[in-house]
Amino acid sequence: MARQKKLIAFNWKENPASRRDAVRLFRGTAAAARGAEQGTEIAVFPPFLYLAEFSAAVRKGDRLMLGAQDVFWESQGAYTGEIGPSMLRDLGPAMRYAIIGHSERRQFLGETDEMINRKVRAALASGLRVILCVGEQASIRRNGAAAAERHIKEQVKKALRGIGARERNGVSIAYEPIWAIGTGRHCPPEEAVAAARAIRSVAGGSCRVLYGGSVDGATVGDYLCYTEINGVLVGGASLRVPEVKKIIKQSIIHG
């Protein structure tokens, strides 16, 4: 399989607690991104309230894009607390991505496959690129690799329902082994590769697949060395600039 352009996505989640720390982290990440290779995309996903400020701060020539940690399926209306795709696009050219279907939103906020499909379709229609998250819980993984792959394929199928092949070019799919995240357990790279192949069998061979299982500067190379894995969705390590630098360096080594 030919190597595709790598995507390194830094998801801050509900962090950091202050604007001062957020600005410091953004500046450090932007500086690190300037050292990335031409064939690597770097995207940062801060909380919503920082997006406008950071979008304005991205300078011409910066190797950094921005994304939202979620997006609603309507552009505007009586939807208290929601942010529509058109609002995000209006922030400027640096605003490129939205994460949809993250395991934490599925778990804590009850997002369903139908809701996720609506969000993906709305984001793509607005011109946003999507990082779609899929993955299996421990209860499914205990039934074996085949059961896990069936679950992942079904998630992908439902999330991409009604989305044509050309539109799917705007979707990257992040595999989250939920059973390994925050548990101290390790997802062997070979299992991540098998999941990537299962995802492509449904989404299409040109689909870009990311690994999203608690990677840091020490482990990211174990996944990026495989041609089947085209980047990473980074969580906790996104909040430490030294780790961000190591991850970007590894993306260059394995580019």
Residue 102 appears among annotated catalytic residues: yes
Residue 176 appears among annotated catalytic residues: yes
Among residues 111, 136, 176, 243, the one annotated as catalytic is: 176
Residue 117: CA count within 13 A, CB half-sphere = 14
CA–CA distance, 203 with 160 (Å, rounded to integer): 8
CA–CA distance, 247 with 241 (Å, rounded to integer): 10
Question: Which residues are tagged catalytic?
Answer: 102, 176
